Structure 1
Amino acid sequence: MKQRLTEGNVGRQLIGLTLPMVWGVFAIIAFNLVDTYFVGQLGTKELAAMSFTFPVVMTLGSLALGLGVGASSVIARAIGEGDHSRVQRFTTNSLTLGLVVVAIFVSLGLFTIDPLFTALGADAEVLPLIREYMRIWYFGMIFLVIPMIGNSAIRASGNTGTPSIIMTLASVVNIVLDPILILGLAGFPRLELQGAALATVIARAVTLVASLFFLHFKERMISLKVPSLQETLWCWKDILYVGLPAACTNAINPISIGVITSFLATFGATSVAAFGVASRIESFVLIALSALSASIGPFVGQNWGAKKYIRVRLSLRLSFIFCMIWGGLMTLILVPLAPWLSSLFNKNPEVVEIATRYLWIVPISYGTAGIILVASSAFNALGKPIPSIVMTVMRTFILYIPIAYFGGKIYGVNGIFAAATISNLAVGIGAYIWNQKSCSLKAVEKAEQAASAS
């Protein structure tokens, strides 16, 4: 195991880490868009059924992502310390932890499909369709959780290219299988929603095989030795210390989207549709910042473990500068192009007009939104998950939702959109200050003194 990220030009290494991740994030977005498109060909009921599954799928995806963040944090620092045995222990035990989590949630999920989705508002007409989809999806949950943890471990080694290739492979398999299994092409039976779930499971299964193969045979990060119970529990505790807060942080985002959507619904279906259009455009615009935040974690973790603190501070400074430049550039691009981009998704003039207003107001804060993402990833990489969840709670529940509520009452949809800008700007500035203090030389000296004293 090489400390790939502790030597060399910091800027070039960050670019080398981020560019493959840009494609990987794009592949994930394409995966979900293709699913939605082909299920939409079946009819409104089927699309509604799949929409009902999104909160559950996103919540469990957030849990898997959180476990991956926890694993990446401890593995990257162990690599930086040069302790290969510790790297293997953490990698292996992160995967076993994933298996335990899968077993628990599959058992709970299969027995709670009807009451859970009834509570979410599904009626008797849609519930059988949800049941068809989720029964297959739950059994395939192992193919979601284990590859996400495995890819996080690979990224912790400083390799973002391989996880991006694996994600792209999954997207390609899903794109090929969706029309075949959903619509019944090439002699296959028409499975409709079951076909969508089956295509997802098969695509994810490919990523499971690929990630485990690479971890074991290429990076030598998996140990086949059966660990003791004491060692397993010790590793799980370290992983969950970062992973559980990260999972909670990721789960907050879909909750906030649901609340904001309910606020917009009071202004009519066109406002909700416009928010959906603008959010879809926004997801593409923010790919670079999401990729950077995923890349900064391994870099910070390895260099912090290797005590290369100056490199950590330089990487964060360069990342924050990039976030502000990217945010400013996207604002300049979206101001003239927002009406045209919105019309690509929906031709309704009212929808286009409201979506355009969103894309004129919110992008002002994209730079600071990127700073929040990068700072959160850096804190998790340092083994400090609390600042990340504090920033998320502050942005969502203290600022965004209350300001959106009162802003909507006073200024209509513009007030709701402005709430996103205000919360991003305020928390982004706070995230920058907090991160700089945590990575200052004084903070480093205190941490080393505490470590030597213990």
Structure 2
Amino acid sequence: MAYVTSSPFKSLYRQTLPMLVGLFAIMGSQFIDSVFIAQLGPQPLAALGFSVPIYQLIVGIQVGVGIAATACISIAIGERRDSYAKYLSAIVLGLGGLVVSLLIFLLWFYQQGIFSALGAKQNVISLLPSFWAPWLLSCWLGAFLYFGYSICRAFGQTLIPGKVMILTSVINVVLDPVFIFTFKMGLAGAAWATCIAFFIGLVVIFKSIFKQGYMALPKNSRVIRAGTSAIAKFTAPALLSQFIPPISAFFVTIIVASYGILAVGVWGMVSRIEYVLIVLVLAVTMALPPMIGKLKGEQSYTEILKLIKTAIFSIVAFQLALAILMMIFVSPITSLLSGEEEVKSLLMQYFFLIPISYAGLGVCMISVSACNAIGVPSAALHASLLRLFVCYLPLVWLGSEMYGLMGLFIGASLGNIFSGVVGWKMFIGQYNKLTAPDVACFTSNQTN
């Protein structure tokens, strides 16, 4: 469990690399999935685009529960309460499973109303009967898989989740063309392929969790109440914070839908490309919380700041370099993604305008993750709200009103950059509050 060393960069690299490889495999499989679906025609691609905000809602909940899991468990480990940490794993799995199952049921029950509210036409809604059930099942299985990842990461184990991510991605890519084209299941085939891949991943990850002894049933109701209370303290604001991306995606999708089915399809593709381009950010935000939580349990606050600064410097440098590469190779990339000139034109605007802003988005995401990990999830929520209602949505709307889809891209880019400034200021303010008592105590002792 010694996953924080004297070198912040080495610690970050060791914990992030397995998650980076695993996430890259997932994003790559999702991208290939989009390419297969795009071959089915504009309606299936649009259905995929309309599912993006709903998918982000489900992911937001599972990530919110995962944040609570890694924070509570890693802090308990830092305080050398290993048995309690194992009890928390079981409590997280039970609570998270209950919440996600309820959400999946509601999404199934109100499926047509949700798609109609997003602006989907009848030719897209007609695809729901065959597509929605397996797609929701894949989301349900994926949520439990993510809880397994969170438990492993909280105990400092990122290698196992990374391997399972690669395994499920490979299975998904192999099964996709079989179910979509060979079995002629179309859009539903892609969802069933994901279900099978996630089910196999669940078997592997939880077999490892029980083998490593990362989970144990609480011994009495007092432990359950204490664990539930601790997790709820983190989960409530973390969940609200995770609702921000799907809410944002919901409103942006409505704006994009006003430009037609083609624009929605491209926006759905762009949303998946975005996950690939910020894969390092996602990996770092998954690797950081257990490291920060353990350091907080040990009260090593100086090391926390060193770790965060190292992470931010690495992310900014990587994202800026990646954005420059995207600009240089924009023509062959867009040609690879689509043969239609109108789609290529929109994708070219995206690659020139938005990837450069992912450095700012990365700073915001790391700052929010750090606030959760140091035990101030309310600050993380405030930063996320400011990003949505002050930095992002107003500029996206204004840009769209002024310059159409290109203006929307410009607004999104500026919103990401401003959100980085807001996120960092929020984190550093909370860090100073956290360390102020120690500084005051130190000064007092020196005087005496």
Q: Shorter-chain TM-score: which interval?
A: 0.7 to 0.9
Question: How many Å separate the matches in 1 of 2:429 and 2:122?
Answer: 55
Partner of 2:395: 403
Asked whether the 8 Å contact 1:88–1:222 carries over to 2, the reply is: yes
Q: Name the counterpart of 2:444.
A: none
For residue 82 of structure 1, what is the aligned residue in structure 2?
A: 80
Query: 1:434 maps to what in 2?
Result: 426
- Report the residue type matching 1:28 in the other structure: I
2:90 to 80, 89, 92: 92
The one-character-per-residue Cα deviations of 1:102-161 (angstroms, maximum 9, x if unpaired) are: 443344344434444455455665545412333344455542222211101111122222
Residues 53 and 249 in structure 2, CA contact (< 8 A), matched pair in contact too: no
Classify 1:227/1:146 alpha carbon distance in 2 versus 1 (closer, same or farther; 3 Å): farther
Which of residues 150, 153, 157 is equivalent to 1:152?
Answer: 150
| Gap runs ≥5 in structure 2 | 442-448
Shift in Å, 1:88: 0.9
Query: Residues of 2 paired with 1:411 and 1:116: CA distance?
Result: 28
Residue aligning to 2:437: 446
User: How far apart are the structure 2 equivalents of 1:52 and 1:405?
Assistant: 19
Task: Look up the equivalent residue of 1:162 and give its one-letter code.
Answer: I
Query: Distance in 2 between the 1:181 and 1:268 partners?
Result: 29
Q: TM-score, normalised by structure 2?
A: 0.87
Most deviating of 310-319 and 135-144: 135-144
1:76 deviates by 1.1
Q: Which amino acid aligns with 2:214?
A: M
Instruction: Pick closer, same or farther for the CA change 1:118–1:410 going to 2, 3 Å.
Output: closer
57, 62, 66: which one pairs with 2:55?
A: 57
The one-letter code of the counterpart of 1:444 is: T
Query: Aligned partners of 1:90 and 1:152: how far apart in 2?
Result: 12
Q: Which residue is equivalent to 1:323?
A: 315
Indicate if the aligned counterparts of 1:182 and 1:195 stay in contact, CA closer than 8 A. yes
Which residue number in structure 2 is paired with residue 217 of structure 1?
211
Structure 1 residues 121 and 281: CA distance shift in structure 2, 3 A: closer
**Over residues 182-213 of structure 1, what are the superposed CA-to-partner deviations in whole Å (9 max), with x where a residue is unaligned?**
3345xxxx544443333222211112212211
Structure 1 residue corresponding to 2:10, chosen from 9, 12, 20: 12
Query: Quick one: distance in 2 between partners of 1:62 and 1:149?
Result: 12
- 1:447 Cα deviation after fit: 7.9
Cα drift, residue 179 of structure 1 = 2.7
Provide the C-alpha distance between the structure 1 equivalents of 2:207 and 2:373, rounded to a whole number of angstroms: 25
Q: Which residue of 2 aligns with 1:372?
A: 364
In structure 1, what residue type is equivalent to 2:330? A
Deviates more, 1:134-143 or 1:328-337: 134-143
**Offset at residue 301 of structure 1 (A):** 1.0
- Residue aligning to 1:394: 386
Q: What displacement does 1:381 show?
A: 1.1
Q: CA deviation at 1:66?
A: 1.3
8 Å CA contact 1:277–1:355 kept in 2: the answer is no
Deviation at 1:417, TM superposition (A): 2.7
> Shift of residue 411 of structure 1?
4.2
**Is 1:362 aligned to 2:354, yes or no?**
yes
- Residue 383 in 1 paired to residue 371 in 2? no
Aligned counterpart, 1:416:
408
Question: Cα distance 1:386–1:362, how it changes in 2: closer, same or farther (>3 A)?
Answer: same
SS in 2 for 1:8: coil
Name the structure 2 match of 1:174: 172
1:417/1:33 CA distance change after superposition, 3 Å: closer
From 290, 306, 325, give the equivalent of 2:282.
290
Alpha-carbon distance change, 364 to 122 in structure 1, aligned in 2, over 3 angstroms: closer
Counterpart CA distance in 2 for 1:48 and 1:23 is 29
Task: Give the unaligned 5+ runs of structure 1.
Answer: none
The answer to whether the Cα contact below 8 Å between 2:372 and 2:380 also exists between their aligned partners in 1 is yes
Q: Which amino acid aligns with 2:313?
A: I
- 1:131 alignment partner, SS class: helix
Partners in 1 of 2:219 and 2:105 — Cα distance? 25
Please give the alpha-carbon distance, in whole angstroms, between the structure 2 residues aligned to 1:447 and 1:153: 31
Superposed, 1:37-52 pairs within 5 Å as: 37-52=35-50
Instruction: Output the TM-score relative to the length of structure 1.
Output: 0.86
Q: Distance in 2 between matches of 1:171 and 1:78?
A: 32
SS state of the match for residue 354, structure 2? Answer: helix
Aligned with 2:201 (options 202, 207, 230): 207
Stretch deviating more after TM superposition (230-239 or 311-320): 230-239
User: 1:5·1:303 contact (CA, 8 Å) conserved in 2?
Assistant: no
Q: 1:302 to 1:50 in 2, by over 3 A?
A: same
Letter in 2 for 1:201: C
2: CA distance between counterparts of 1:388 and 1:318?
A: 20
Aligned to 2:294: 302
- CA–CA separation in structure 2 for the residues paired with 1:96 and 1:153: 13
Residues of 2 paired with 1:358 and 1:126: CA distance?
25
Q: Larger deviation: 87-96 or 285-294?
A: 285-294
Identity %: 28
Within-5 A mapping of 1:258-273: 258-264=250-256
Deviation of 1:11 (Å): 1.1
Aligned residues, how many?
Answer: 441
| TM-aligned CA distance change 1:244 to 1:35, over 3 Å | farther
Name the CA distance, whole Å, in 1 between partners of 2:124 and 2:256.
Answer: 24
